[in-house]
């Protein structure tokens, strides 16, 4: 069962990564990246790293992707044309989601001992994990947070409009 789930979510992760590269709209690319991050969280869950899977969902699929989406929307301050959605989502996405749900439902209904947990190794507590994260890896942790803050400030500076400059001149100079 683990092997089937692994191949299923590894394929979903690869499909999301390929869709991320093929999208023409940045918001659709950000949504594809959320699919990739969520699939990685399920792969962590299959490896038995529950805390890492939860952190992947909360930190990357939640907070970082909200920041990416905010920065993309801030930088794309102009008017965007309305679309009916991605062709890839209509052609491949909807049947793939239906097949994924069908496979997951079948696996869950046929699984025996789904809630049983076996402890073969010692348990790493959250206290041990936080000691490593906030003592041994404190500098990389803080440098990453400063880099994210600098990226957000840079996006705000780039998206800021000059109040004296008419909006038509800015778009015309960008097109030239």
Over residues 136-148, the pLDDT tens digits come to 888 887 888 888 7
Residue 14's pLDDT is 92
Residue 147's pLDDT is 84
Is 70 in the same domain as 133?
A: no
Residue 119 lies in a domain: no
Strand locations in 40-134 (E): none
Domain count of the fold of the chain: 2
Is 19 in the same domain as 99?
A: yes
Q: How many CA atoms lie within 13 A of 102 on its CB side?
A: 6
Is 95 in the same domain as 47?
A: yes
Residue 77's pLDDT is 52
Is 100 in the same domain as 174?
A: no
Residue 86's pLDDT is 67
11-39: average pLDDT: 86
User: Residue 117: CB partners within 8 Å, gap ≥ 6?
Assistant: none
Residue 118 lies in a domain: no
Distance between CA atoms of residues 10 and 3, nearest Å: 10
Residue 63 lies in a domain: yes
First to last CA, the chain: 56
Distance between CA atoms of residues 46 and 8, nearest Å: 12
pLDDT beyond 60 at 123? yes
Residue 143 lies in a domain: yes
Is 89 in the same domain as 39?
A: yes
pLDDT beyond 60 at 92? yes
Is 53 in the same domain as 88?
A: yes
C-beta of residue 31 within 8 angstroms of C-beta of residue 68 = no
Is 68 in the same domain as 148?
A: no
Is 51 in the same domain as 5?
A: yes
Is 19 in the same domain as 46?
A: yes
Residue 129's pLDDT is 76
Q: Which among 30-44, 123-137, 160-174 has the top mean pLDDT? A: 30-44
Distance between CA atoms of residues 171 and 167, nearest Å: 7
Is 16 in the same domain as 82?
A: yes
Per the structure, the complete domain to which residue 28 belongs is given by: 1-110
C-beta of residue 11 within 8 angstroms of C-beta of residue 30 = no
pLDDT beyond 70 at 19? yes
Distance between CA atoms of residues 8 and 1, nearest Å: 11
Is 105 in the same domain as 154?
A: no
Is 23 in the same domain as 75?
A: yes
pLDDT band, very low/low/confident/very high, at 166 (cuts 50, 70, 90): low
48-75: average pLDDT: 77
């Amino acid at each position: 069962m683990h092997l089937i789930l692994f191949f299923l979510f590894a394929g979903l992760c690869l499909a999301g990564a390929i869709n991320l590269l093929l999208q023409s709209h940045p918001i659709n690319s950000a949504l594809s990246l959320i699919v990739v991050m969520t699939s990685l969280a399920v792969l962590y869950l299959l490896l038995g790293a529950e805390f890492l899977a939860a952190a992947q969902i909360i930190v990357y699929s939640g907070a970082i992707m909200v920041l990416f989406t905010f920065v993309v929307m801030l930088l794309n301050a102009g008017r965007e044309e309305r679309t009916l959605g991605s062709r890839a989502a209509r052609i491949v996405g909807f049947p793939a989601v239906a097949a994924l749900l069908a496979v997951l439902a079948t696996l869950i209904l046929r699984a025996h001992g789904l809630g049983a947990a076996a402890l073969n190794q010692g348990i790493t507590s959250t206290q041990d994990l936080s000691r490593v994260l906030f003592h041994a890896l404190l500098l990389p942790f803080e440098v990453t947070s400063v880099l994210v803050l600098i990226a957000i400030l840079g996006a705000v500076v780039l998206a800021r409009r000059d109040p004296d400059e008419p909006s038509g001149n800015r778009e015309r100079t960008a097109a030239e």
